[in-house]
Amino acid sequence: MSRPLTIAVAQSGAVQKDDPRQANVARLCKMMSDAADQGADIVVFTEIALTTFFPRYYAEDRAEMDQWFEREMPNAATQPLFDLARERGVGFYLGYGELTPEGRHFNTSILVDKEARIVGKYRKVHLPGHDEFDPDRAFQHLEKRYFEPGDLGFPVWDTMGGTMGMCICNDRRWPETFRVMGLKGVELVMLGYNTPSANSQNDGETAEMRKFHNRLTLQAGAYQNSTFVAAAAKAGTEDGHHMFGESCIVAPTGEIIAMAKTEDDELVIAEIDLDDTAFGKATVFDFARHRRIEHYGIISTQTGVTKPSVK
């Protein structure tokens, strides 16, 4: 049995504050077109792919940030991407800031099939950072100010020949993200990320360490759930802030099978066989046989740590 799928991870180079959406979408269309030329079935774009990573900016009046959000999808700016997807017969993952008709803000991704239909939506659950200006940080990361935590859980979708799931950036650091989708049989987890190369609260943490944490979490999530993972960075220096690249595709063994070489717009392509997820799911990670849920209760009933009381 074989279920081949060609994945193209479309890493974005920096998007500056003043770059117009239309120009940013044109860059994404160029990558989609190049990916289609190379036989891609699905293109994975990054988190907040249409604009600069705006949560680094503080505004006392949150409404000032609404300029960075999309009120509908597709819209005039993104329609070319949908038209191209339909014309070339490729699906895609796209991350963007979502402003709902009710005035709610989410850090969102969508899954679009080869007919350019939106078949899935995910809203980022694990929002990093803080919600008020923090003078002690070298730079701000105000996701908790500008977004609500996602309210859709971690759904998966049977589409394009496999069981597909999505998450966004900081979600990858949480094993629960992958496990919940693993329990739904996910075979490919797609995600985008904007990860600063510096830790705003610890100038001793190197960029190499932060790249290691990126690979560690993606590889662990893939291996422990026997799933492919495709991760697309926004990289390079945006408005003076550097973000690392290392967009990659991880196999269900946990091995990285393709990785970006630059910090610019770059395609990372791999032809995979979704059936390669079957072995791990039937052996070491056969959840039905091996999981011991009688011991896992606090994972879903408790957030913080409770230490044993000292006698």
Catalytic machinery residues: 47, 124, 169
173 near ligand CDT, rule: CB under 6 A:
yes
- Least distance from C-beta 160 to ligand CDT, angstroms? 26
Binders of ligand CDT among residues 44 to 73 (CB under 6 A) are: 47
Asked if residue 109 binds ligand CDT (CB under 6 A), the reply is no
| CB closer to ligand CDT, 9 vs 169 | 169
Listed residue (61, 43, 55, 179) closest to 111, CA to CA: 43
Q: Which amino acid is present at 64? A: E
Shortest approach of ligand CDT to residue 133 CB, angstroms?
Answer: 17
DSSP secondary structure of the chain? ---EEEEEEEEB----TT--HHHHHHHHHHHHHHHHHTT-SEEE--TTTTS--GGGS--SSGGGGGGGEESSSS-TTTHHHHHHHHHHT-EEEEEEEEE-TTS-EEEEEEEE-TTS-EEEEEE-S---S-SS--TTSSS---HHHH-PPPSS---EEEETTEEEEEEEGGGGG-HHHHHHHHTTT-SEEEEEE--BSSBTTBTTS-HHHHHHHHHHHHHHHHHHHT-EEEEEEB-EEETTEEE----EEE-TTS-EEEE--SSSSEEEEEEEEGGGGHHHHHTTT-HHHH--GGG-GGGTT--S--PPPP-
Q: How far apart are CA 172 and CA 181, in angstroms?
A: 12
CB of 195 to ligand CDT, least distance (A): 4
What single-letter amino acid sits at 222? Answer: A
Q: 124 or 281, CB closer to ligand CDT?
A: 124
Nearer residue to ligand CDT within complex by CB, 193 or 285: 193
Contact 234, 246 (CB under 8 A): no
Closer to ligand CDT by Cβ: residue 152 or 269: 152
Total binding residues toward ligand CDT, as defined by CB under 6 A: 8
Question: Which of the residues 20 through 49 are near ligand CDT (CB under 6 A)?
Answer: 47
Residue 169 interacts with ligand CDT (CB under 6 A): yes or no: yes
Q: What phi, psi does 144 have (nearest 5°)?
A: -70, -20
In this complex, which beta carbon is closest to ligand CDT, that of residue 202 or of residue 306? 202
Of 10-18, 70-78, 165-173, 265-273, the window that binds ligand CDT (rule: CB under 6 A) is 165-173
Q: Which one, 212 or 279, has the nearer CB to ligand CDT?
A: 212
Q: Which residues between 174 and 233 bind ligand CDT (CB under 6 A)?
A: 193-195
**122 contacts ligand CDT (rule: CB under 6 A):** no
Smallest gap from Cβ 287 to ligand CDT, in A, equals 26
Least distance between ligand CDT and beta carbon 153 (Å): 18
Residues 277-296 that bind ligand CDT (CB under 6 A): none
Nearest to 265 by CA among 27, 22, 5: 27
Asked if 128 is part of the footprint of ligand CDT (rule: CB under 6 A), the reply reads yes
Of the candidate residues 24, 163, 170, 219, the single one contacting ligand CDT (CB under 6 A): 170
Report, in Å, the least distance between residue 209 CB and ligand CDT. 11
Residues that bind ligand CDT (CB under 6 A): 47, 128, 169-170, 173, 193-195
